[in-house]
């Protein structure tokens, strides 16, 4: 989703104020999903086989893979890395930071991110695209690209249908939340690749607290919990609140009663729940803000303490970060990846940063 455009007329003001930009005060992470009856929640394990059967109809279009795309991976320079690393709190470290560029105009708009396995990240674009990023030595190294198909097997066409924002992946099934037409759909990309057809999981509410939600302020965040339940988070509803809901098995998707603990002036754009190697779970949240004076700002939160968050603001090299995913490494460390959406413009960047945290 586009929430920022550069304001060139203010460039001198921005330059003067950049070095003075303080870290944001950050609230605790969003509350849990609420008091839903677990027996009434949608469950991935119960739905997975049906999704694969409906998404990969053998009588439909032939299976199609994703196509290689030219990709340039440029690590931040020493000064940029030093400034970024200075924002990383005790108990965490910067694992890498890169800018991704391509001569292919189809590459960009990276709005959601998920770890398929230790060597592969899957991203979605807000033009209904799939972008698979291979990892080599912990860094992005190659990319392939394809486009999402509707339930009829045709490509999703037009912003009203293909504005993909939130992503979760498990056992070869990608779950995607969409703005404009608020919904969650599933694609069995692990079985039939980019030929996977959309399987509707749930239509999502279009109003909160009695007020209709703007079509461009919808379900940016999607979380498939370790137990297999789906949570969705809207960027903004009435009074700037970011409400969180759950998908039910016995009724339409609905608000859970929880709202994200947005830092002042920020909105929720991504969330994920991680199973920890030693037991237990941890919820992780990504918030963003933009204004012409301070530009793009992000806050990544993985706990309630001052050492459980990172604020990205000038003079850090930052942009419109929207996607978040977590990998639990063999050491037990959790690697958090975030990716920015350049809105398919040369004025913005596709940045991908990785942070290792110990929980």
On whether residue 16 sits in a domain, the answer given is no
On whether residue 267 sits in a domain, the answer given is yes
What's residue 277's pLDDT? 78
Give the C-alpha separation, 32 to 51, whole Å.
27
On whether residue 9 sits in a domain, the answer given is no
Taking alpha carbons only, the member of 87, 97, 91, 92 closest to residue 299 is 87
Instruction: Please count the structural domains in the chain.
Output: 1
Angle at CA of residue 252, ends 249 and 256, nearest 5°: 90
Placement of tokens 């339409």 in the chain? 252
Give the C-alpha separation, 268 to 234, whole Å.
7
What's residue 17's pLDDT? 37
CA count, 13 A, side-chain hemisphere, 294 = 17
Contact (CB, 8 A) for 164 and 198: no
Angle at CA of residue 52, ends 186 and 181, nearest 5°: 20
On whether residue 22 sits in a domain, the answer given is no
On whether residue 30 sits in a domain, the answer given is no
What's residue 240's pLDDT? 83
What's residue 2's pLDDT? 55
On whether residue 348 sits in a domain, the answer given is yes
Phi, psi dihedrals of residue 285, rounded to the nearest 5°: -135, 145
On whether residue 11 sits in a domain, the answer given is no
CATH number of the domain that 290 lies in?
2.120.10
pTM of the full structure: 0.90
Give the C-alpha separation, 292 to 96, whole Å.
28
Torsion of CA 299, 280, 275, 297, to 10 degrees: 0
Domain with 54, as residue range(s), is 36-357
Instruction: Enumerate the β-bridge partners of residue 327.
Output: 335
Give the C-alpha separation, 225 to 132, whole Å.
22
Tell me the two tokens of residue 298: 């992000």
pLDDT along the chain (359 residues), means of 10: 43 35 44 62 97 81 76 98 98 97 96 96 97 97 96 93 97 97 96 94 95 96 97 91 94 92 96 90 97 96 95 98 94 94 96 95
What's residue 330's pLDDT? 83
On whether residue 27 sits in a domain, the answer given is no
Tell me the two tokens of residue 82: 């030093």
Number of H helices and E strands in the chain, helices first, is 5, 24
Give the C-alpha separation, 197 to 214, whole Å.
27
Placement of tokens 């990846």 in the chain? 337
């Amino acid at each position: 989703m586009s929430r920022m455009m550069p304001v060139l007329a203010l460039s001198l003001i921005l330059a003067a104020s950049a070095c003075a930009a303080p870290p944001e005060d950050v609230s605790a992470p969003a509350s849990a999903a609420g008091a839903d009856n677990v027996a009434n929640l949608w469950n991935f394990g119960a739905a997975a086989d049906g999704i694969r059967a409906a998404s990969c109809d053998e009588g439909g279009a032939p299976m199609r893979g994703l196509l290689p795309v030219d990709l340039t991976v440029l690590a931040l320079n020493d000064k940029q890395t030093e400034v970024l690393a200075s924002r990383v709190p005790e108990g965490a470290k910067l694992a890498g930071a890169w800018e991704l560029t391509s001569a292919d105009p189809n590459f960009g708009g990276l709005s959601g991110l998920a770890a398929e396995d230790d060597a592969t990240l899957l991203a979605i674009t807000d033009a209904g695209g799939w972008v698979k990023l291979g990892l080599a030595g912990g860094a992005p190294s190659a990319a392939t690209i394809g486009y999402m198909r509707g339930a009829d097997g045709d490509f999703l066409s037009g912003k009203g249908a293909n504005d993909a924002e939130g992503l979760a992946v498990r056992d070869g099934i990608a779950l995607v939340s969409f703005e404009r037409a608020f919904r969650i759909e599933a694609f069995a990309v692990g079985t039939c690749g980019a030929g996977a057809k959309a399987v509707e999981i749930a239509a999502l509410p279009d109003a909160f607290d009695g007020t209709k939600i703007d079509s461009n302020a919808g379900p940016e965040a999607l979380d498939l919990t370790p137990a297999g339940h789906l949570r969705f988070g809207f960027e903004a509803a009435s009074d700037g609140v970011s409400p969180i809901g759950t998908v039910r098995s016995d009724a339409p998707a609905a608000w859970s009663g929880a709202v994200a603990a947005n830092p002042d002036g920020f909105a929720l754009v991504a969330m994920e729940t991680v199973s920890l190697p030693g037991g237990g779970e941890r919820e992780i949240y990504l918030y963003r803000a933009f204004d012409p004076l301070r530009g793009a700002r992000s806050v990544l939160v993985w706990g309630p303490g001052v050492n459980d968050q990172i604020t990205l603001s000038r003079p850090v090299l930052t942009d419109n970060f929207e996607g978040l995913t977590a990998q639990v490494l063999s050491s037990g460390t959790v690697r958090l990846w975030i990716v920015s959406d350049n809105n398919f413009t040369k004025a913005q960047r596709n940045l991908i940063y990785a942070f290792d945290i110990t929980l």
